[in-house]
Amino acid sequence: MNINLELYRVFYVVASVGNITRAAQKLMISQPAISKSIKNLEDQLGGKLFLRTKKGVTLTQEGQIFYENIKKAMEYIDVSEHKFTDLINLEGGNIKIGVSNSYGVFKYFLKPYLIEFNKLYPKISIQIVEDYTNEIIRKLKDGLFDMAILKFPYKERNDIDKIKCKEIQDCLVVGPSYQELTKKVIPQKDLDNYPILGLIKPSDITGSYFEKVLKDNNLALESSIECNTVYSFMELTKAGLGIGYTIKEHIEDEIKNKELFVLDIEPKIPSRYIGIATKKNTLPSFSTKKLIELIENDIKRNNY
């Protein structure tokens, strides 16, 4: 049965107020239009909904049962309309963000934008999940994240859209015990003379990217120690257990505090980007779209 929703709405209002005149005023349509709609609905349903009285109209027994169900439906529609309006006006909603767990991506890139966004739209809830990049991409594709913050390049995919945001520079770093290495240029081919720290494969895109750079120069290095978290990896680098690799922009505090020192290697590691990834051919929610716009506008202002 394909009945126009507007007929249900007219029935609901008439049944609620019990008077066609008041219903016409509330719906801002004429009384004859109200009567015509009710008759049309009764004809399609195949039964009487109202009985006319001197005071107005009253529901039949069948009409009363019908009204109880229509009332629930109308209330759901009303709540949905209000919720949709709240979402449009950013008075509600949520954003699920997948973030590469590489050292500093959240702290130095995403965090300032979330603070600003929360000040502007405090009623929008935000969920942050940090994970390995490959896992973030898989969950983004499966619709478990609205957006992701990643380091590019990664293996190209036809089901992911990307927005380049900020240029970053990969670098090799050491702790204070290897500080003397910063006084000279180290050819990449000589790196195997020193202990190299690594992340357990395939845990981190940074490690994969560095390995690709070495491979492009016909080099392959074996790690003396491997970790499965970026935190332990960087802590061991600071402690002097070997050479680590990370993003220069994300260790500014450590460099300033002389906990880490950047090596000068040749040939140099090409720069790349931090950016936003979204599932292709998917319309983002109002709140997700607004956060992406906030980031993009800041990128344009600062010419990253």
Q: What is the pLDDT of residues 23-54, one digit of tens each?
A: 999 999 999 999 999 999 999 999 999 998 87
Proportion of the chain above pLDDT 90, given as a percent: 50
Least confident stretch, 64-78, 110-124, 217-231: 217-231
Q: Look at 224 and 58; give whichever has higher pLDDT.
A: 58
Mean pLDDT value across the chain: 87
User: At residue 133, does pLDDT exceed 70?
Assistant: yes
67 touches 98 (CB < 8 A): no
146 vs 212, which has greater pLDDT?
146
Identical topology for domains 94-167+273-302 and 170-270 = yes
CATH no. of 94-167+273-302: 3.40.190.10
User: What CATH number was assigned to the domain covering residues 5-88?
Assistant: 1.10.10.10
Quick one: pLDDT band at residue 3, thresholds 50, 70, 90?
confident
- Residue pair 66/35 in contact (Cβ under 8 Å)? The answer is no
State residue 285's pLDDT score. 86
**pLDDT in the model for residue 298:** 93
pLDDT tens per residue across span 73-118: 988 888 788 778 767 777 778 899 999 877 788 988 999 999 999 9
Range in 112-116, 155-159, 226-230 the model is least confident about: 155-159
Q: Work out the pLDDT band at 304, boundaries 50, 70, 90.
A: low
The pLDDT-based confidence of 205 (bands split at 50, 70, 90) is low
Res 242 pLDDT > 70: yes
How much is the pLDDT for 201? Answer: 59
pLDDT tier at 292, thresholds 50, 70, 90: very high
Which of 135-139, 182-186, 269-273 has the largest mean confidence? 182-186
Q: What is the average pLDDT across 180-184?
A: 94
pLDDT above 50: residue 202: no
Instruction: Using the predicted structure, report yes or no on whether residue 215 has a pLDDT greater than 90.
Output: no
The C-alpha atoms of residue 130 and residue 229 are separated, in whole angstroms, by 11
Asked if the 170-270 domain carries CATH number 3.40.50.170, the reply is no
Residue 243, pLDDT above cutoff 50: yes
pLDDT confidence tier of residue 187, bands split at 50, 70 and 90: very high
pLDDT at 83: 73
Domain ranges across the chain: 5-88, 94-167+273-302, 170-270
- What is the mean predicted confidence (pLDDT) over 120-133? 90
| Predicted local distance difference test score (pLDDT) of residue 265 | 92
Q: Calculate mean pLDDT across residues 249-273.
A: 92
